[in-house]
Structure 1
């Protein structure tokens, strides 16, 4: 009986040896198909290759697993980033692909490969930088205000704007991200200053922030802010959340000032009651300003807010003089989207005049309306007049109204007395004082504004022609 027992144990041990040997497999250190992993929503696939031996020792249910270390290269809390299907990989060497988790950020990650049947684990790969660029668009700091001011001996706090609104995809929405701050040393170079969500600045210069994606290139960077030490006349700028000009039909825009202790806002030079915060919301246009208390000193800022939503210019003046037979071409340039143009002559729409330019052939009053038809539906207009410097008038007028409206602003007399006709024109005040005397009158009196209040002054003229004929009369000036 004793011999039978010994024989049974020996047989059992001998039978178990092949089974133990068949369960062993060795996996090589994985080889990386990349030098750094810079993942994003548009790209997140990375390859590794490895060998295993012997191939025949793999069980039919075996799965290969790729594990990603932490940012320091440790596998104590490894993350599984890939698992093959059972029995899918049977030939060595093998190449597998994996994707990075969205919170990946560091310079010393490693990967390793494990098998399940039999269980085996490779050594870790060489370390590599790995970042998932969960936010990869420009963002704003300092409320998009281009300047900052600090008092002598003090500092100015730059912050990343949060939350992101409108086009501002704030990276602060993603808690896993960290940030680096830089100071410009030239238009194309900069130096690292510090890391963090904010930066306290006590040296003049231009600063900006970047999301820390290590050696990976990225579009996640901020606007530039130029910070200076406050002076007696130091000023900063104001930012409009809807831009400037802005589309008033979209609602109110938020005006933002730089960081300070207290504020007082003004519109057109008048204090706005209760407007004492860093931001002021308005749907009005005009000249806005703010006084900013920085603690040990103060500064101010201003903005001329335009609610049209686009800019336009016209290349003619309000009053334009032409000779008989001449024409005047007026051209409008605009940033309006898909603009429409309407031209008017003496307040009557000119049929067919829909281009951005118009050739005026008649004297009179003109107007052009520019309407933006895409986006902000708003209209801007320009008015101008076309006059003949020496019109063929038949009578000498006895009344003028120099009020700047383009009508009877100057004393315009027949062509036989002006511009080379060699006629002497004399204008006298009611007291007999000579106001103007010339032998080449240009229809341009009065050239300067006449100062009077309630009584319409009367002047007198004497015109002597080249053949010694004389014309006399009075000129009444009205508002």
Structure 2
């Protein structure tokens, strides 16, 4: 048997080693093929993929893993982020596709991807650059405490800030430190500044967006109109419920532009304690405010009105009908109300089926009609009147007792017709303390015409009746409650 000498065996091994190294050196990974044009990720969508080729497949070790790496926002791999790693030996066929998700702090325009393998160790070239953003905050937010106006003094400036945490359900982007911003001044679509605040020294309308590059986003602020003020500058006041406002909807909030301090006035009189940017009221009137900007002041005013409609009735407050002859009094209401509704009442009891603007009265008593506006500013108003029985005034006696209790009987002082309207007779009624309560040459049997609040129990009044030819009758009238 021939023996292989040690020297020959050693040379054989040396011959084989270079051949094996050559196999590993020939393994390569092709350029990554991005399956997207840009990345716009959020909490509900964060799955993307990259494809690549490799060869020869036979060179892969059974434990090989492919790794997807992401560069920094400028395209450098000095400290890459691993996006995905395949299981050992899971990928053996070329081409291959790997899915991945991006981190929540992803934000930039020059990201790149590369593919690496572990067995054999190899790396692809870098992919084409692409923009990538994770929209960690994707809802509207507020600046300037959601106030739409602001003012600065001439030669000064105003600081616009993103609200944090904002008001109500405002999801302030300041809660996410990785975010950046772009400020704009209308109408330009080119950013004028970045950062969390903006110092404004020129009048205009400003707003800010979270910087998500070309990704569509709902992360933007309200707009603020900034004005320059000088001494005696006039500003504005807005009413939250409009002007006129509907008082049935509650109070309206009057608001002026932002300043250092405020003082409100109503009808040119100072309102004590009204020193905030807003003032709440449910009353109409002339409101004004003085705004101090710390170096200059401005004034504003608003003639605040409550929305109302007008209604009128075609009869006087007190009326008479001849109940013995079944006389009827036709009552008609005219109203400017929108889609009006009518309800008629007799002695505070609703009259069935009386729901029109006209009603024929044939019964004495106290009436009212409620007119309601049913669209727009829903509101109502009441019109009242009294109907009394017409008394027979042919008697020669002048009554000395009346009972004005609105029962339709003896409610007013009825005197003979020879002293009433058309006879040019003067009727004078004097209180017990000498005060003249009625003096007329055209008496219509209607005293007391309105419900009188008599201070004394059964007060006594004195009358002097003087006819055209100088005849006089005197006496007293007692009011019985």
TM-score by length of 2: 0.63
Cα distance, 1:293 vs structure 2: 2.9
Cα distance, 1:7 vs structure 2: 2.7
In structure 1, the partner of 2:206 is 207
Give the SS at the match of 1:193.
coil
> Cα 1:326–1:195, aligned 2, differ >3 Å: closer, same or farther?
same
> 2: distance between equivalents of 1:426 and 1:29?
119
In structure 2, the partner of 1:384 is 381
- Give the number of aligned pairs: 380
> 2: distance between equivalents of 1:84 and 1:351?
86
> Cα 1:190–1:15, aligned 2, differ >3 Å: closer, same or farther?
closer
In structure 1, which of residues 361, 366, 371 is the aligned counterpart of residue 370 of structure 2? 366
Say yes or no: does 1:62 pair with 2:59: no
| CA contact 2:310–2:335 (8 Å) conserved in 1 | no
Root-mean-square deviation (CA, aligned residues, Å) is: 5.1
> 2: distance between equivalents of 1:456 and 1:54?
124
| CA contact 1:460–1:474 (8 Å) conserved in 2 | no
In structure 2, the partner of 1:235 is 235
| CA contact 2:312–2:335 (8 Å) conserved in 1 | no
> Cα 1:49–1:223, aligned 2, differ >3 Å: closer, same or farther?
same
Alpha-carbon deviations, 1:156-197, whole Å to 9, x = none?
111111113322111111111111111112xxx644321121
In structure 1, the partner of 2:96 is 94
Cα distance, 1:133 vs structure 2: 0.9
Alignment of 1:205-354 (within 5 A): 205-231=204-230, 232-235=232-235, 260=259, 262-264=260-262, 291-299=290-298, 316-317=309-310, 324=330
Alpha-carbon deviations, 1:84-114, whole Å to 9, x = none?
1222211111122211111111111001111
> 2: distance between equivalents of 1:172 and 1:239?
31
Alpha-carbon deviations, 1:181-239, whole Å to 9, x = none?
11112xxx644321121111111111111111111121111111111111414325689
> 2: distance between equivalents of 1:427 and 1:111?
112
In structure 2, the partner of 1:180 is 182
In structure 1, the partner of 2:150 is 148
Unaligned runs of 5+ in 2: 316-328, 360-366, 393-420, 429-434, 453-481
| CA contact 2:264–2:271 (8 Å) conserved in 1 | yes
| CA contact 2:257–2:277 (8 Å) conserved in 1 | no
Give the SS at the match of 1:192.
coil
> 2: distance between equivalents of 1:153 and 1:329?
55
> Cα 1:219–1:14, aligned 2, differ >3 Å: closer, same or farther?
same
TM-score by length of 1: 0.63
> Cα 1:228–1:119, aligned 2, differ >3 Å: closer, same or farther?
same
